[in-house]
Amino acid sequence: MLPRARYLGAAGAVALVSGLLTAGAPTVAATVSVQPAAIRSQLASQTQPPTEAQCVTSFTVPCYDPAQIETAYNEKPLFAHGITGRGQTIVIVDAFGSPTIKSDLGTFDKQFGLPAPPSFRIIQPAGAVGPYDPSTMSGWAGETTLDVEWSHSIAPGASILLVETPVAETEGTAGFPQIVEAENYVVDHHLGQVISQSFGATEGTFPAPRSIFELRSAYINAFQHHVTVLASSGDTGATGYSNVAGTLYYTHPAVSWPASDPLVTGVGGTQLSLNAAGQRTAPDRVWNDTYNKPLQEVFFGNAGPNPLAGGGGKSAVFSRPPYQNGVANVTGNARGVPDVSMSAACSGLVVTYDSFGGAPAGWYVTCGTSEASPLFAGVVALADQVAGHSLGLINPALYALKAERAPGLVPVTTGNNTVSFTQNGKSYTVHGSSASPGYSTVAGVGTVDAALFVPELARAAGGGRW
């Protein structure tokens, strides 16, 4: 992940599971690094969140607050009818967590007029997390802050369960066993309806496909218990990290797991263009800031290009699941990812508040598909409330809704996730996918108008009993 910068101023279950467990081509042996998908920049103020104008001045791009995002996704009609996620629990999974997340959420809520969640619990079912060490834990603390604050913004009536794990992924499969153990605990004890994961590891960095298959028990368990599982598609566009440090990229297309898992809903990234009221000034497009030179200077300290775009493409591990048969012309025989997309662009930042240490307490700006996953988790919680039960695996419903052109799914028709970079003295371009009115392996089935989409998803998903 990038260092933080500072702004100082201002189907039937058996048949479907069988179809979703089919492996494809083997992957390249290497090490693996799972990383939070959020990219964080600098403090706008220690006392007040930045205004849009201040963000443009400091970062060259606007930043958005909860009211703007709620308006952009047309949530107000749902809120007016009491659809706020009431009775549901959003599960956030992060290594280490944040030692100040409860108070930080309180500050965030007070600033933006949000109610406190009905319940906010923190558990560590895979082992106790050690004392907070900013040198190793601050990145995950920032990730936790984004996940909690923005899932709550979308579903302010939902409870939050933060699941902290004691081992961060560094190489091989270290860290994932603890994540799997923790998520199985959540599912076995019926602790939540939707799980959001803002982390991932490039498929090709696992020693072999079986390494991934051996880590899937929580997703199979979630499927069988009708729990929805989401994952961010990544922030390096059509490529992915090829080393543990996150300093090298594959020079060919690659996607990340668990977003590529057929039992997981992969959430990609879009760029919003909003006015102060949250109304769109342009249609959403695929997030790609790779070639945005002024913004590259802000995040990388050079004009780039450096990969900075929503992940997506075709899995090298999983074959096409049954629910993607209708988009086989796009995915071929492979699992395509993402399935749906939400706001993630660094050219449309969101604000967070944190005080966990390692940097001054205050208001930060954030971006990445790590934003998109908790946003969509909030949408799923709203649909769970409408349905009166958890929806489980929603992917079949998403593709069915797309096929019937149901209201609420909004096409993302412009942009791509092609990225370029210089590595070991050579320049590379990894060509990705382009958005289209139909399904694409860069925006999935599109993005959502929540007021229309939520009841349609509740209807189509049928409780996840496929």
Average pLDDT of span 440-448:
98
- Is the pLDDT at 37 greater than 50? The verdict is no
If you average pLDDT over every residue of the chain, what do you get? 89
Specify the pLDDT at position 246: 83
pLDDT tens for 95-146 read 999 999 999 999 999 999 999 999 999 999 999 999 999 999 999 999 999 9
Q: How confident is the model at residue 359 (pLDDT cuts 50, 70, 90)?
A: confident
Specify the pLDDT at position 464: 37
List Cβ neighbours of 319 (8 Å cut-off, separation of 6 or more).
Answer: 22, 23, 24, 333, 334, 335
On whether residue 2 sits in a domain, the answer given is no
**Helix, coil or strand: residue 168:** coil
Specify the pLDDT at position 40: 52
Q: Are 428 and 421 in contact (CB under 8 A)?
A: yes
On whether residue 152 sits in a domain, the answer given is yes
Decide which of 296 and 24 is more confident. Answer: 296
What is the C-alpha separation between 463 and 466, in angstroms, rounded?
Answer: 8
On whether residue 3 sits in a domain, the answer given is no
On whether residue 1 sits in a domain, the answer given is no
The domain that holds 385 is classified in CATH as 3.40.50.200
Specify the pLDDT at position 299: 85
Average pLDDT of span 59-63:
93
On whether residue 6 sits in a domain, the answer given is no
On whether residue 19 sits in a domain, the answer given is yes
Range of the domain at 221: 13-464
Q: Are 333 and 261 in contact (CB under 8 A)?
A: no
Q: Are 59 and 365 in contact (CB under 8 A)?
A: yes
Specify the pLDDT at position 173: 64
pLDDT tens for 298-346 read 888 899 999 999 999 999 999 999 999 999 999 999 999 999 999 999 9
On whether residue 194 sits in a domain, the answer given is yes
pTM for this model (two decimals): 0.92
From 164-173, 175-184, 295-304, 411-420, the region with the lowest mean pLDDT: 164-173
Number of domains in the chain: 1
DSSP tag of 77: H
From 37-51, 165-179, 246-260, 397-411, the region with the lowest mean pLDDT: 37-51
Q: Are 23 and 213 in contact (CB under 8 A)?
A: yes
Q: What's the Cα-to-Cα distance from 462 to each of 113, 155, 231, 321, rounded to whole Å? A: 34, 21, 22, 19
On whether residue 8 sits in a domain, the answer given is no
pLDDT tens for 248-272 read 999 999 999 999 999 999 999 999 9
Strand intervals (E) in 219-304 = 228-232, 256-257, 265-274, 280-286
